[in-house]
C-alpha cells in the first residue's frame, strides 16, 4: 500500500487561480499579499503576466463561488484560492453571507474535483480581521500553503490512481483478491 502526501517543492509545473472579493479590500488585499508572498517563497511565479497564477476580482465574497467553479471547470488550474473578508459588525446578514460562501466554495471543489481553498476570513470586527491579515499573522500565507499542498497531492493521486487496477492486482485489498474479482476486472477490461 502507499502513503500519499502533498509536497511544497517542484512547484514550477503548478497553475493557480486566485479569486478575490473587493468588499473589505483593506483586508482582502492584505490576504492577497500574504498569499503571494508564500507562493513566491515556494518558487511560484506570481506575476500576473507570467504563466503560473491568474487573478480574478469579484465585487464581494458572495460572488466568489460561481467564479471559482467556472475556473475549476476549465481544468487549467491545479488549485483555486478564494480570498475575501466577511465582518460581523458590518453586516446584519453576516451568517447568511458567510455560510453561503462556505457552501458554495465546498460545492465548487466537490463538483469539479479541483481543490478550491476557502480563504474567506470571517471576523467579528475590522480590527480582528486586520490582525489575521498581516498585523499579527497573515492567513493569506496559510491559504497558499493549503493550495500548494493540495495541488501537489492531487497531481500525485491522478498519476498513481490512473494505473488500471487489473494491471496491478497485487495492490488490491485481500478481500477483493480472494473473491477472485481481479480476474473479473481483467476480463471486463478485455471486453470493453
Which positions are catalytic?
93
Which one of 11-19, 61-69, 165-173, 180-188 is the stretch in contact with ligand INI (CB under 6 A)? 61-69
The span from the CA of 144 to the CA of 152, in Å, is 12
Cell of 156: 500525485
- Decide: is 20 part of the binding site for ligand INI (CB under 6 A): no
Are the C-beta atoms of residues 107 and 72 closer than 8 Å to each other?
no
Q: Which of 7, 70, 91, 166 binds ligand INI (CB under 6 A)?
A: 91
Among 36, 44, 52, 62, binds ligand INI (CB under 6 A): 62
Residue 59 in contact with ligand INI, rule: CB under 6 A: yes
Say which residues have a Cβ less than 8 Å from residue 88's Cβ, sequence separation at least 6: 94, 122, 123, 124, 125
Binding region for ligand INI (CB under 6 A) out of 16-24, 65-73, 136-144, 167-175? 16-24
Please answer whether residues 86 and 104 qualify as being in contact, where contact means their C-beta atoms are separated by less than 8 angstroms. no
Identify residues 137-156 at the interface with ligand INI (CB under 6 A).
none
Residue 146 has a CB neighbour count (10 Å cut-off) of 17
- Rule CB under 6 A: say whether 109 interacts with ligand INI: no
Closest approach, Cβ 103 to ligand INI, in A, equals 14
Q: How many residues sit close enough to ligand INI to count as binding (CB under 6 A)?
A: 15
- Closest to ligand INI by CB, 24 vs 152, is 24
C-alpha distance from residue 159 to each of 124, 152, 153, 163 (Å): 43, 11, 10, 7
Least separation, in Å, of the C-beta of 124 and ligand INI? Answer: 11
Instruction: Mention every residue, 6+ apart, whose C-beta is less than 8 A from residue 32.
Output: 18, 20, 83, 140
**Quick one: how far is CA 178 from the chain centroid?**
38
* Smallest distance, ligand INI to C-beta of residue 81, A: 15
When the beta carbons of 26 and 179 are compared against ligand INI, the nearer one is 26
Chain residues in the site for ligand INI (CB under 6 A):
21, 23-24, 59-63, 84-87, 90-91, 97
Amino acid at each position: 500500500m502507499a502513503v500519499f502526501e502533498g509536497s511544497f517543492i517542484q512547484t514550477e509545473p503548478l497553475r493557480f487561480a486566485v479569486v478575490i472579493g473587493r468588499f473589505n479590500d483593506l483586508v482582502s488585499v492584505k490576504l492577497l499579499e500574504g498569499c503571494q508572498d508564500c507562493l513566491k517563497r515556494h518558487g511560484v511565479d506570481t506575476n500576473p503576466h507570467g504563466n503560473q497564477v491568474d487573478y480574478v476580482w469579484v465585487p464581494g465574497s458572495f460572488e466568489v463561488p460561481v467564479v471559482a467553479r467556472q475556473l475549476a471547470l476549465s481544468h487549467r488550474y491545479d488549485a483555486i484560492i478564494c480570498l475575501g473578508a466577511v465582518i460581523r459588525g458590518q453586516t446584519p446578514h453576516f451568517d447568511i453571507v458567510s455560510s453561503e460562501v462556505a457552501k458554495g466554495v465546498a460545492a465548487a471543489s466537490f463538483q469539479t474535483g479541483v481543490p478550491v481553498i476557502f480563504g474567506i476570513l470571517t471576523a467579528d470586527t475590522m480590527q480582528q480581521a486586520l490582525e489575521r491579515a498581516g498585523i499579527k499573522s497573515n492567513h493569506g500565507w496559510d491559504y497558499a500553503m493549503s493550495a500548494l499542498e493540495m495541488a501537489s497531492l492531487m497531481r500525485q493521486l491522478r498519476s498513481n490512481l490512473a494505473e488500471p487496477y487489473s494491471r496491478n492486482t497485487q495492490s488490491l485489498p485481500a478481500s477483493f483478491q480472494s473473491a477472485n474479482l481481479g480476474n473479473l476486472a481483467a476480463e471486463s477490461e478485455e471486453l470493453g
